[in-house]
Amino acid sequence: MSIYSLSLDGLSQESGALLRLAIECIELLDYFYDDPKRIKEALENKLPRPGNIAKKIKGKFESLRKHLNSAASHFSFDPIACMHLMNWKNGSLRYYQKFNETVLRQNLWTLFGVMRLLTYSAVRCLRFKNIFDIKLGKEIEEWKESGLKLAKEKMLQ
């Protein structure tokens, strides 16, 4: 995923726009799951706007979407959006990003969580249509468990 690559490059703020797209994908899959007839809307390019989809499914990401709007998806001089560009104590610009392992770990943990949600939403749709492969389900569960185990080990270091 590009979010992963951008995070490794110290460009996590820029990955926020992509994170927003991932969240919209999760909500779209939930929208289809709630009423599979809605897939026809996608095929006819007649889907509601993402905000309307979120309202219809009672989406849980409104506050995150608002944060991404102000801090990542659109240019802003807001201190939160520019925190990584300025040294606010002395008013100088930062010309490079200092590596911060804690920030990278948190960003990758967030990405893992979003990928788990995206996978869960996709699997729900596959199960609904009875095209879910049990082997795939076991692989997804193993991926989740190994990711959680790794994260726990790294947090204890």
Q: What pLDDT digit, counting tens, does each position of 52-86 carry? A: 999 999 999 988 888 887 777 666 666 666 676 77
Residue with tokens 């082997």: 135
CB neighbours of 122 closer than 8 A, spacing ≥ 6?
A: 29
Q: What is the pTM of this model?
A: 0.75
Closest CA to 31 of 64, 56, 61, 60: 56
Closest CA to 124 of 26, 48, 41: 26
The pLDDT tens digits for 101-128 are 888 888 888 888 888 889 888 887 776 5
H or E segment and range at residue 12: helix 12-34
CB 107 within 8 A of CB 7: yes
What are the residue boundaries of the structural domains of the chain, listed by start? 2-156
